[in-house]
Amino acid sequence: MESTHISDFDGLDVHKCYQCGKCTAGCPVAEHMDISPNQLVRLAQLGAYDEALSCMAVWACVSCQTCTTRCPQSVDCAGVMDAFRQMAAEKGTAPPELQRVLMFQRAFLDSVRRNGRVNEIEMTVLFKTLGFLKDFSVPLLMKDALLAPKLMQRGKFHPVGEKVRDRAVVKRIFDRCMLDKG
Ligand code: SF4
Ligand code: SF4
């Protein structure tokens, strides 16, 4: 078990949880979770991160905020899910089947950070490169390549990306988010 890092859950009031289970009762995806939301809050209280950081539950969460809204103790249960997701992504403890999802999210956010909106070619190149560097699989690198022309024909894939004019604002938003996480 890792030691408790209270700062990871600062402002989420996990210490107030008395395990009433209302968060789990209202969660629309609780039945698809291997650890319920109230149990995850308990793990956060105890600083028992190992189990939480390798579970599927935090990735099944759709961030709907129902748990936070319903909590009689004002515990930010959805924030706990976010914090565990962030920690799992940083420590690389997410289940293996989710690693490509994380790579896609990273490629997507990188592109938005640079351009203010997603550049599909840039995002695809980065996503494919990250995947290739992980397992050196040429078939996976080439997978979907034949889809590109069809998607372009239907206007679903744009070879030329656009940038927003005031990218400094976008940079400030990203900087602020990273500061809040730090
Ligand atoms: S609803 Fe709030 S108090 Fe009840 S178990 Fe969930 S987090 Fe804890
Ligand atoms: S935010 Fe996540 S854990 Fe909370 S109710 Fe929605 S899906 Fe469930």
**What pLDDT score was predicted for residue 150?**
86
- Over residues 77-111, the pLDDT tens digits come to 999 999 999 898 888 888 877 888 888 888 999 99
Full residue range of the structural domain in which residue 14 is found: 6-91
Top pLDDT among 134 and 37 is at 37
Q: Is 1 inside a domain boundary?
A: no
- Of 72, 91, 110, at which residue does a domain stop? 91
**What pLDDT score was predicted for residue 7?**
56
Q: Is 167 inside a domain boundary?
A: yes
CATH of the domain at 84: 1.10.1060.10
In this structure, the answer to whether residues 104 and 177 fall within a common structural domain is: yes
Residue to substitute in 12, 40, 61 for testing ligand 2 pocket (most ligand atoms within 8 angstroms of CB): 61
**Closest ligand by atom to 30 CA:** 2
Q: What value does the mean pLDDT of the chain take?
A: 86
Q: Count the Cβ atoms, other than its own, within 10 Å of residue 18.
A: 9
Find out whether the beta carbon of 17 lies less than 6 Å from any atom of ligand 1. yes
Residues with CB under 6 A from ligand 2: 27-29, 37, 61-67, 77-78, 81
Find out whether the beta carbon of 75 lies less than 6 Å from any atom of ligand 1. yes
pLDDT at 76 over 70: yes
Read off the pTM: 0.73
In this structure, the answer to whether residues 79 and 119 fall within a common structural domain is: no
- Of 36, 63, 91, at which residue does a domain stop? 91
**What pLDDT score was predicted for residue 15?**
93
**What pLDDT score was predicted for residue 2?**
44
The residue contributing the CA closest to ligand 1 atom 6 is 23
How many whole angstroms from 179 Cα to the centroid of ligand 2?
25
Region 168-175 average pLDDT? 89
- Of 50, 73, 91, at which residue does a domain stop? 91
DSSP states of the chain: -PPP-GGGGTTS-GGG-----HHHHH-TTGGG-SS-HHHHHHHHHHT-HHHHHT-SHHHH-----HHHHH-TT---HHHHHHHHHHHHHHHT-S-GGGHHHHHHHHHHHHHHHHHSS--HHHHHHHHHHHHHHHH--HHHHHTTTTHHHHHHHTTSS-SS----S-HHHHHHHHHHHHHHH-
In this structure, the answer to whether residues 52 and 108 fall within a common structural domain is: no
Find out whether the beta carbon of 18 lies less than 6 Å from any atom of ligand 1. yes
Supply 10's token pair.
């600062």
pLDDT at 130 over 80: yes
How many whole angstroms from 68 Cα to the centroid of ligand 2?
8
**Closest ligand by atom to 78 CA:** 2
pLDDT at 4 over 90: no
**What pLDDT score was predicted for residue 182?**
53
Backbone conformation region of residue 113, classed left if phi is above 0, alpha if psi is from -120 to 50, else beta: alpha
In this structure, the answer to whether residues 77 and 138 fall within a common structural domain is: no
Region 62-87 average pLDDT? 95
